[in-house]
């Protein structure tokens, strides 16, 4: 193995090892920023319904007089609104089941009826036990008010309401501060929608709320729904769209990150892998102001034992100024799946929340090419696994012009392999001469040694776009295929070592990743003929098998079929093609000077004029011109 091949092998090993090591760090976190457990949060959330329907625990312990004094100190002129009976109202539609509490008029539950959590429970997206979608403001009395501490009156008599189809419900929650002074939240639910419309109305509260107004807040992100919290944390983020331009924020370890965006706001959103909550000002692009985003990441414990999971929570807040008198601001609140077709129907750019990869190049390929093709295939084939196989075949056909060029370049190199080996054996003690003769051989047969790289590079954006689409497609979530593959959105583990491998941190192996690695090995074996590169035949399949073992089985199914089709294509080209090449064919072919060859020749001529030689190139006499190259006008040979 020569130095360049050895260096390439070492670099590949280092890159993949670093990636696997990074992944293992994410899977086994050592830094702790907040010692909360998911179980504790879930238990606290589940206790909401069982809370006493009277007053807070503080009110039970203190005398009424002391309570009034504490409330006065905390809430000022709004103290009388801090006492009341806590009531929960349930609104069920065709798609969701929501619960709203009168204390804060905030949403404390949001179930999606058509989706299940990884453990089979219904998807419930609201994490904060006190509720989400609330107001916070600073009064003239310098009291920081959280609307979730105040009791609203709600215009609904029944605690349970059912809506279907085109039915709607207008829920009015009101804080009656004084006669003619109030704060209202008007929430409109729809029987067949994932969103609600909300009006925030300030009525003659000029002496309470200054012109800076209030913040409309979603504070704790979304409740995780997938088994792999690492993967879901990677996809968790907050974002804001300003006049079509996205700004994103992701939580970091051991610290809170924040950002503010000012301009013409389209919407702001928090998301996890397959679900989102988005606030859209109405009418669209009517809000010219500021949105604040924040995020924090912490590691989760269960008792004294670490659970090897990490959680990221993101918040979003609109700063809404108050101009006095009666002011009404309208927002649309979407809480639902990251389904492209559903989000696209809103015509406000919500589909941009879905992570299809780099927005400049990769995303357009995935969004406008890959996704429509995949959905079209599935419209005829209900099984997503079979649809993926058909999709793989179609992609192989579409990429045929690039892949066949790459294969033919590899075939040409295979034909020259014996000649190259003879040169290396003949000049094994003279590396410079060896490289010069090999370059002469390439020139004689019109072969560009880099000819197989360009087609591969052109395929990379397409393959990455496809990877992005399949990785975040909610259609594959909990979609069963066959045999051991029960969910195309998660790894299909078939081997559990019971311990993590050192450094790389892997303890389970995916069946489809092993099959994909086997096909990659066969492809490498068929195309790599240089004995100095034989290490790549083994190390690449091993590294990719380790890496892909944590990928969703849908992705591995696609790559396995894609590689299998590539093997069939290569076998046909090598064994059965009527256009099978020979060395004589190569020699007769017209020789076309490629860009790289041209640049190397020009560099060679410059070096020759200076009495030097280019490493790996034949040494030219500086007094000679290259064959078949006309002399420039006025040329004189140096003496």
- 327: CATH: 2.70.98.90
By three-state DSSP, how is residue 91 classified? strand
Give 151's DSSP letter: B
Q: Which residues of the chain have pLDDT under 50?
A: 1-6, 20-59, 62, 304-307, 613-639
Same structural domain for residues 544 and 564? no
Residue 68 belongs to some domain of the structure: no
Same structural domain for residues 157 and 199? yes
Task: Give me the DSSP letters along 492-527.
Answer: -EEEE-SSPPTTT---EEEHHHHHHHHHHHHHHHHH
CB count in 10 Å sphere of residue 397: 11
Phi, psi of 145 (to 5 degrees): -105, 130
Same structural domain for residues 440 and 312? no
Q: At what angle do helices 453-472 and 553-571 cross, to 10 degrees?
A: 150
Residue 65 belongs to some domain of the structure: no
Same structural domain for residues 405 and 342? no
* Confidence at residue 623, expressed as pLDDT on a 0 to 100 scale: 42
Residue 613 belongs to some domain of the structure: no
183 closest CA partner among 161, 205, 157:
205
* Confidence at residue 52, expressed as pLDDT on a 0 to 100 scale: 44
CA torsion sign, 272 to 277 to 283 to 286?
Answer: negative
CA torsion sign, 502 to 507 to 510 to 515?
Answer: positive
* Confidence at residue 21, expressed as pLDDT on a 0 to 100 scale: 47
Distance CA 1, CA 204 (A): 82
Residue 430 belongs to some domain of the structure: yes
200 closest CA partner among 71, 106, 263:
106
440 closest CA partner among 198, 176, 616:
616
Same structural domain for residues 164 and 114? yes
Structural domain boundaries, residue 536: 1-30+491-551
Same structural domain for residues 525 and 560? no
E-only strand ranges, 321-357: 326-337
Distance CA 533, CA 541 (A): 14
* Confidence at residue 633, expressed as pLDDT on a 0 to 100 scale: 47
Same structural domain for residues 122 and 164? yes
* Confidence at residue 105, expressed as pLDDT on a 0 to 100 scale: 93
Distance CA 127, CA 309 (A): 16
Same structural domain for residues 540 and 450? no
Distance CA 284, CA 267 (A): 9
- Number of domain units in the chain: 3
Residue 78 belongs to some domain of the structure: no
| The two three-digit tokens of residue 403, written as one number | 């892949």
Distance (Å) of CA 226 to CA 203, 222, 444, 468: 43, 12, 58, 18
* Confidence at residue 247, expressed as pLDDT on a 0 to 100 scale: 92
Residue 381 belongs to some domain of the structure: yes
CA torsion sign, 124 to 126 to 129 to 131?
Answer: negative
Residue 589 belongs to some domain of the structure: no
Give 232's DSSP letter: H
Phi, psi of 291 (to 5 degrees): -125, 135
Same structural domain for residues 485 and 503? no
CB-based contacts of 582: which residues, under 8 Å, 6+ apart? 415
Look-up of token digits 């059965």: 576
Residue 323 belongs to some domain of the structure: yes
Out of 564, 581, 598, pick the residue that ends a domain.
581
Distance CA 463, CA 634 (A): 53
User: Under a CB-based contact definition with an 8 Å cutoff, are residues 527 and 570 in contact?
Assistant: yes
Helices (H) and strands (E) in the chain, counts: 17, 21
pLDDT tens track for 462-520: 778 878 888 888 988 888 888 888 888 888 888 888 777 776 677 788 888 899 888 88
H-type helices in 317-399, by residue range?
340-344, 362-365, 371-380, 384-398
Phi, psi of 529 (to 5 degrees): -110, -15
User: Under a CB-based contact definition with an 8 Å cutoff, are residues 361 and 458 in contact?
Assistant: no
By three-state DSSP, how is residue 546 classified? helix
CB-based contacts of 549: which residues, under 8 Å, 6+ apart? 491, 493, 506, 508, 509, 510, 513
Same structural domain for residues 370 and 286? no
Out of 581, 600, 629, pick the residue that ends a domain.
581
* Confidence at residue 47, expressed as pLDDT on a 0 to 100 scale: 43
Same structural domain for residues 286 and 387? no
Out of 551, 567, 599, pick the residue that ends a domain.
551
Same structural domain for residues 179 and 322? yes
Distance CA 49, CA 43 (A): 11
Give 478's DSSP letter: T
């Amino acid at each position: 193995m020569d130095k360049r091949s050895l260096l390439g092998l070492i670099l590949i090993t280092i890159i993949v090892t670093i990636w696997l090591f990074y992944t293992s760090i994410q899977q086994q976190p050592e830094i702790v920023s907040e010692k909360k457990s998911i179980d504790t949060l879930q238990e606290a959330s589940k206790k909401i319904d069982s809370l006493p329907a009277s007053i807070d625990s503080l009110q039970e312990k203190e005398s009424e007089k002391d309570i009034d004094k504490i409330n006065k100190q905390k809430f000022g002129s709004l103290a009388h609104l801090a006492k009341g009976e806590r009531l929960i109202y349930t609104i069920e539609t065709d798609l969701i089941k929501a619960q709203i509490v009168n204390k804060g008029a905030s949403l404390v539950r949001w179930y999606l009826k058509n989706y299940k959590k990884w453990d089979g429970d219904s998807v419930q997206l609201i994490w904060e036990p006190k509720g989400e979608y609330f107001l916070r403001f600073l009064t003239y009395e310098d009291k920081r008010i959280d609307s979730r501490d105040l009791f609203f009156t709600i215009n609904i008599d029944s605690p349970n309401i059912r809506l279907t189809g085109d039915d709607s419900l207008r829920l009015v929650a009101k804080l009656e501060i004084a006669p003619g002074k109030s704060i209202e939240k008007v929430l409109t639910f729809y029987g067949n929608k994932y969103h609600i419309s909300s009006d925030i109305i300030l009525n003659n509260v000029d002496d309470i709320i200054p012109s800076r107004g209030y913040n409309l807040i979603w504070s704790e992100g979304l409740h995780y729904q997938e088994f792999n919290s690492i993967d879901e944390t990677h996809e968790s983020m907050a974002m804001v769209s300003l006049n079509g331009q996205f700004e994103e924020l992701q939580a970091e370890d051991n610290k809170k990150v924040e950002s503010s965006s000012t301009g013409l706001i389209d919407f702001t959103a928090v998301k996890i892998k397959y679900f989102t909550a988005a606030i859209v000002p109405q009418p669209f692009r009517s809000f010219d102001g500021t949105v604040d985003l924040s995020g924090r990441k912490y590691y989760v414990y269960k008792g004294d034992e670490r659970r090897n999971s990490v959680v990221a929570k993101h918040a979003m807040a609109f700063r809404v100024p108050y101009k006095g008198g009666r002011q009404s601001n309208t927002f649309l609140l979407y809480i639902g799946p990251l389904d492209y077709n559903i989000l696209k129907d809103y015509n406000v750019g919500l589909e941009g929340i879905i992570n299809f990869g780099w927005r400049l190049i990769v995303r357009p390929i995935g969004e406008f090419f890959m996704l429509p093709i995949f959905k079209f295939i599935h419209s005829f084939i209900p099984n997503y696994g079979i649809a993926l196989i058909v999709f793989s075949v179609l992609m192989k056909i579409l990429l045929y012009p690039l892949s066949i060029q790459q294969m033919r370049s590899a075939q040409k190199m295979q034909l020259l392999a014996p000649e190259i080996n003879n040169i290396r054996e003949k000049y094994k003690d003279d590396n410079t001469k060896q490289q010069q003769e090999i370059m002469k051989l390439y020139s004689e047969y019109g072969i560009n040694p880099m000819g197989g790289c360009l087609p591969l590079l052109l395929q990379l954006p397409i393959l990455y776009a496809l990877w992005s689409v399949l990785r975040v497609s909610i259609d594959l979530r909990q979609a069963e295929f066959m045999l051991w593959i029960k969910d195309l959105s998660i790894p299909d583990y078939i081997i559990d070592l019971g311990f993590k491998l050192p450094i790389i941190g892997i303890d389970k192996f995916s069946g489809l990743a092993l099959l994909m690695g086997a096909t990659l090995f066969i492809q490498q074996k068929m195309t790599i003929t240089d004995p100095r590169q034989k290490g790549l035949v083994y190390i690449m399949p091993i590294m990719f098998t380790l890496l892909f073992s944590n990928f969703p089985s849908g992705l591995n199914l696609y790559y396995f079929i894609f590689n299998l089709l590539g093997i069939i294509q290569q076998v046909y080209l090598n064994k059965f093609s009527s256009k099978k090449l020979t060395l004589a064919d190569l020699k007769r072919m017209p020789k076309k000077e490629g860009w790289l060859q041209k640049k190397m020749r020009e560099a060679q001529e410059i070096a020759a004029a200076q009495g030097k030689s280019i490493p790996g190139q034949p040494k030219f006499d500086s007094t000679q011109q290259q064959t078949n190259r006309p002399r420039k006008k006025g040329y004189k040979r140096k003496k």
